[in-house]
Structure 1
Amino acid sequence: MDIRQAYADARAAGASRHRDIAHAMGITEGMLIDAHVGAPRSGQEGGLQAQRLRRDFPALLSELSRAGELMALTRNAHCVHERTGIYEHVSAQGEPGREMGLALGEEIDLRLFYSQWAQGYAVREGEQQSLQFFDAQGVAVHKIFTRPATRLAAWQALRADWADPTAPAPQWRLDTPPTPVDAPDVDADAFRAGWAALRDTHEFFGLLRRHGLTRRTAMHLAAPEFAQRVDPHAARVLLEGAAANGTPVMVFVGNKGVIQIHGGPIKRVAVMGPWLNVLDARFNLHLREDAIAEAWAVRKPTVDGLVSSLELYAADGELIAQFFGQRKPGQPERCAWRQLLDGLVDDPAWSEESVGCAA
């Protein structure tokens, strides 16, 4: 198959998203991008062009602040999270190729799992410029786009510094990563006791590992005062409520390579067909409501009081998105957020007490 020509034909026919075009061609998005490494064919100037990047991704991200304002995009199969800002306070630790990193800027807030980053590209199509990163199967883990306020000279210098014209074509893995499964024997009582004993939300990951549980199964095993299944359209109700009363939220969307976080108020919530959207100036969210198989109101005990969230799951158990009330460590969550979440639950086991929350 001539991937470049098939892509050009799809674009001419009106297709827009690289991911969808690649899927229709029976390949992954990374394969599509890599096929465009090198100069475009005659007659395709302004079309898709790509350059492979050197693979020291933590060092590359640590230099992005030179370019100023950029748009960070992280997605999974059912949700896209876009946040505009500056890549600040970027750090990483761990052995090369297996680093874990952070970006803790005022607006760009990321958790980075570099062991899942296999290949990176500088991409240009018309006036749109980006850096795009893919896992070993060619599935996108993170993308970075220029914005009108980007320092283009610094951006171009970064592209030139990090381009690797001698890099060989990647050897994409065609196997599908195994789906996580639960341990065959789970002590549900011990798990519930461990949940009740949590002192920090980050301890939840260790609790799952100790008991050999997937996250969605944990929801089903949890005590009713800590997890309640709610309507699949709960995210719409929650976001519309937060936009109406100005409650600041935290929106987590991730994949195996990145978790991207928005923190702050939201203003414009819009439903367009199956998509639930937040369409603000510096934050966009695009969520497929028809992909939500289960939605859960969740509480975790911490030293700062209960921390409440809404978690969305796809039919295969994938975590699509999480929503929290915005708060800082050492502070209780806002009562306004807790009341929004409590309004989703219709079960007397879920107490509506606001003890431990802040006005």
Structure 2
Amino acid sequence: MTNSTELRERFAAARAQGKRHKDAAAACGVSEGEAVAAHAGEHDGTLQAAPLRGPWIELLKSLEACGPLLALTRNEGVVHEKTGVYRNLSATGPIGLALGEEIDLRLFFAQWHAGFAVTEAAANRSNPPSMSLQFFDAHGTAVHKIFAREGSDRVALASIATVFAADAATAVFRRAEAPAAQKPDSSFDCRALGKAWSEMTDTHQFFGLLKQFGVERQQSFRLMEGRYAWRVAPQALRDLLYAASFGGAPIMVFVGSPGCIQIHTGPVTRIEPLEVHGMKWLNVLDEGFNLHLREDLVAGTWIVEKPTSDGVVTSVEAFDGEGGLMAMFFGARKPGVPEREDWRTLVRGLPRLAKAEA
């Protein structure tokens, strides 16, 4: 096992090559959580990590005093960044909510295993060091990160890190187990699944439906293909974002990690594709909201319809090659309000695939 000193040196070398934390950790053969934890305690590295303790909901509630912060939630193929004030935090047991105007989160604290207050010297030493709070699950996967920005109260953020400081013990992470094998499509009662689907009155009931039938999310779309779900062409996400930008339709963009779903609601305007080192990024670069989505990792995209008491709600959902949900897109709406017609028009314009093409 690599000791902390060696890991810090290798991590610093990878960072010097311009790698992000996640990629630098992967280059060292460890999870990101392990790499950050190796920087706890006394050392002279440019990155310093101070362990944090919960209750996590109380820590997040205290962030309102810091003013605007950058909230970052990501998965393997998408990074979702929102700048705003952490307001209206609440929790019921292990489930939390942030319902601020800019920072809109669904929090699953059972997955929050370790947290760190992280400072890192800027590449340009004339700039202040990066200052963040970073949280990881038991496998060392980042669940949520919070960064100071120009308008942030850094003194207040440092004070919160002090109040919620844990002892210097290094967090222990474990390797993730291989996912269970997926049941064959032929093992499901499609008639019963379709009936339960048709009886939904709220989109949130969909999670219970998947659990009830023991069916994986994208698998359920296959089983209901042509009735409630339709595959769309690989360029659908780019078409969707450009159409939303040109037409001005406000949308909702959901991106999830193991312990957090982060949501943007509003228009998107500046859409910029970019290819770097063979990675094809589809970017939204708006004030207050940035999205970075790896188009080259998208293996399947679906239009999905879910019945609700307010009428049908339509989503566009993208999956990677491992079946992981990368992002979900909806028309902007509030509970009790029917879906926007401009969103439905946008979705109808996406290029659908026949089953044979897929």
Query: What TM-score, normalized by structure 2, do the two folds share?
Result: 0.91
Deviation at 1:223, TM superposition (A): 4.8
Matched ranges for 1:243-282 at <5 A: 243-273=245-275, 274-282=280-288
Question: Number of aligned pairs?
Answer: 339
Distance in 2 of aligned mates of 1:269 and 1:175: 35
- SS for the counterpart of 1:205 is helix
Structure 2 match to 1:130: 132
Structure 1 match to 2:322: 316
Distance in 2 of aligned mates of 1:225 and 1:343: 18
Structure 1 match to 2:99: 104
- SS for the counterpart of 1:168 is coil
Distance in 2 of aligned mates of 1:348 and 1:57: 46
Distance in 2 of aligned mates of 1:225 and 1:188: 11
CA change 1:250–1:175 in 2 (3 A) is: closer
Alignment of 1:228 onto 2:230 = yes
Distance in 2 of aligned mates of 1:195 and 1:255: 26
Matched ranges for 1:101-250 at <5 A: 101-126=96-121, 127-164=129-166, 166-176=167-177, 178-179=179-180, 181-182=182-183, 185-250=187-252
- Once the two structures are superposed, residues 331-358 of structure 1 have per-residue CA deviations (whole angstroms, 9 ceiling, x without a partner) of 1111111011011144899xxxxxxxxx
CA change 1:346–1:275 in 2 (3 A) is: closer
Deviation at 1:11, TM superposition (A): 2.8
Contiguous gaps of at least 5 residues in structure 1: 350-359
- SS for the counterpart of 1:171 is coil
Distance in 1 of aligned mates of 2:248 and 2:92: 37
Structure 2 match to 1:300: 306
What residue identity is the alignment partner of 1:18?
A: H
Alignment of 1:29 onto 2:32 = yes
Structure 2 match to 1:74: 73
Distance in 2 of aligned mates of 1:266 and 1:289: 18
Query: What TM-score, normalized by structure 1, do the two folds share?
Result: 0.91
Alignment of 1:343 onto 2:349 = yes
Q: Among the aligned pairs, what percent are the same residue? A: 47
Deviation at 1:196, TM superposition (A): 1.4
Distance in 2 of aligned mates of 1:348 and 1:173: 42
Conserved 8 A contact 2:232-2:353? no
- SS for the counterpart of 1:153 is helix
Distance in 1 of aligned mates of 2:80 and 2:306: 24
Structure 2 match to 1:352: none
Distance in 2 of aligned mates of 1:66 and 1:327: 29
CA change 1:336–1:10 in 2 (3 A) is: same
Structure 1 match to 2:83: 84
Matched ranges for 1:12-23 at <5 A: 12=16, 14-23=17-26
Conserved 8 A contact 2:137-2:143? yes
Structure 1 match to 2:293: 287
- Once the two structures are superposed, residues 208-254 of structure 1 have per-residue CA deviations (whole angstroms, 9 ceiling, x without a partner) of 11111000100001151321000122111000100111100000000
Distance in 2 of aligned mates of 1:177 and 1:346: 33
Deviation at 1:179, TM superposition (A): 4.3
Structure 1 match to 2:57: 58
- Once the two structures are superposed, residues 294-326 of structure 1 have per-residue CA deviations (whole angstroms, 9 ceiling, x without a partner) of 100111111111111100011111111000000
Conserved 8 A contact 1:228-1:345? no
- Once the two structures are superposed, residues 94-118 of structure 1 have per-residue CA deviations (whole angstroms, 9 ceiling, x without a partner) of 2xxxx11000100100000011110
Contiguous gaps of at least 5 residues in structure 2: 122-128
Distance in 1 of aligned mates of 2:340 and 2:181: 34
Conserved 8 A contact 2:40-2:170? no
- SS for the counterpart of 2:151 is strand
Distance in 1 of aligned mates of 2:102 and 2:31: 30
